[in-house]
């Protein structure tokens, strides 16, 4: 399973990259705003800075909700770097734009997916990635991981090449659940990735090893 980090924070992206497990980055206008990035030129330069750090795909979201606007923005974003994946919302015009980009050889990420039917349409249109938001589903007492299972079954039935990118991942249990089901990618905060490192027996075991070494060295 690929690990993407869902942020526009360059320090967090560098930390995840240095850890050696990062496969890509997802961003959106909200994450850009959180980092104080505003204005078209600043946003473009920030995408370039992210691409300079990571080796894998970087999802960059269009703002327009109309087909023509999505195409114009998406082509401009894709021209920035070969790593850029154009992030398009799951709407009627979004599906049309995904089909357009697919024919042009431009990678896409269909975002704001909340049902298996939406994921099926995205795959039919040729999306590179589809992003079901499992955390947001959990927030309204709907089983987010269950949706990943449904999409996995449908894609496997028909050999769709669209990758399931589990989005809105909140914690390490989400990551492990997605891994068991067979999600191709997960994207979440750095904290969720780092939480996989932690186990109390690892901590206590290491403390014991160090204490024993210090005792032996003291002799």
In order of 12, 51, 57, the CA distances from 190 in angstroms are 7, 18, 17
- Nearest-angstrom CA–CA distance, 24 and 6: 9
Please say whether the beta carbons of 25 and 59 come within 8 A: yes
- Establish whether 87 is a catalytic residue: yes
Question: Which tokens hold the place of 133?
Answer: 């938001």
SS3 for 34-90, per residue? HCCCCCHHHHHHHHHHHHHHCCCEEEEECCCCCHHHHHHHHHHHHCCCCCEEEEEEC
| Catalytic residue from among 2, 34, 83, 87 | 87
The structure tokens 């496969």 sit at: 23
Give catalytic residues, as residue numbers: 87
């Amino acid at each position: 399973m690929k690990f993407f980090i869902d942020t526009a924070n360059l320090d967090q992206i560098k930390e995840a990259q240095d850890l050696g497990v990062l496969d890509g980055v997802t961003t959106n206008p909200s994450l850009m705003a959180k980092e104080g990035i505003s204005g078209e030129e600043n946003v473009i330069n920030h995408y370039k800075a992210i691409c300079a750090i990571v080796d894998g795909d970087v999802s960059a979201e269009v703002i327009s909700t109309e087909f023509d606007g999505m195409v114009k923005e998406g082509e401009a974003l894709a021209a920035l770097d070969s790593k850029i994946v154009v992030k398009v919302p799951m709407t009627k015009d979004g599906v049309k734009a995904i089909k357009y980009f697919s024919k042009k050889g431009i990678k896409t990420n269909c975002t704001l997916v909340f049902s298996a039917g939406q994921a099926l349409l995205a795959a039919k249109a040729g999306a590179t990635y589809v992003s079901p938001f499992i955390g947001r589903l959990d927030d309204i007492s709907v089983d987010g991981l269950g949706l990943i299972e449904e999409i996995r079954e449908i894609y496997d039935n028909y050999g769709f090449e669209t990758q399931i990118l589990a989005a809105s991942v909140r914690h390490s249990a989400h990551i492990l659940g997605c891994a068991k089901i067979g999600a191709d990618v997960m994207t979440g905060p750095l904290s969720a990735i780092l939480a996989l490192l932690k186990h109390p027996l690892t901590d206590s075991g290491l403390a014991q090893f160090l204490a024993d070494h210090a005792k032996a060295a003291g002799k």
